[in-house]
């Protein structure tokens, strides 16, 4: 490759005119040899009306993204970096709900612990 080709720049123009924004608190993944399918939606837990059943969980998927595994790997690395930076700045993200509830029980006034 010549020096002239190595110094050429590529300009990236991003068009977000047709972008949709959705909120999701649940996801599901499926995979084929060629593609990864990511379904996103809302998980709602409602008190059950049935005796012996504490709650009814409703999971409604509203959006799906399909990508090849190369893009999925780049997305994974980008998400990992974003979570790493968030935890460095704000603290560890606890995935266990019972541990989060226990942590919150000992706090008040904006989540600051009292010793």
Q: Does any domain span residue 115?
A: no
Read off the pLDDT band of 100 (50, 70, 90). Answer: confident
Higher pLDDT, 30 or 107: 30
Domain span at 25: 15-108
Give mean pLDDT, residues 6-30. Answer: 93
Per the structure, the count of domains in the chain is: 1
Q: Does any domain span residue 31?
A: yes
Q: Does any domain span residue 2?
A: no
Q: Does any domain span residue 1?
A: no
Give mean pLDDT, residues 47-71. Answer: 93
The count of other CB atoms within 10 Å of the CB of residue 44 is 13
Q: Does any domain span residue 35?
A: yes
C-alpha 12, offset from chain centre: 25
Q: Does any domain span residue 9?
A: no
């Amino acid at each position: 490759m010549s020096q002239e080709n190595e110094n050429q720049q590529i300009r990236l123009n991003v068009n977000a005119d047709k972008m949709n924004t959705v909120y999701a608190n649940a996801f599901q993944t499926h995979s084929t040899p060629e593609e990864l399918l990511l379904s996103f939606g809302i998980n709602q837990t409602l008190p059950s009306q049935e005796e012996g059943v504490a709650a009814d969980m409703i999971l409604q998927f509203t959006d799906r993204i399909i990508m090849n595994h190369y893009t999925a790997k780049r997305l994974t690395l980008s998400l990992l970096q974003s979570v790493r930076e968030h935890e460095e700045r704000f603290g560890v993200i606890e995935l266990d709900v019972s541990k989060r509830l226990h942590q919150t029980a000992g706090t008040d006034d904006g989540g600051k612990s009292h010793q």
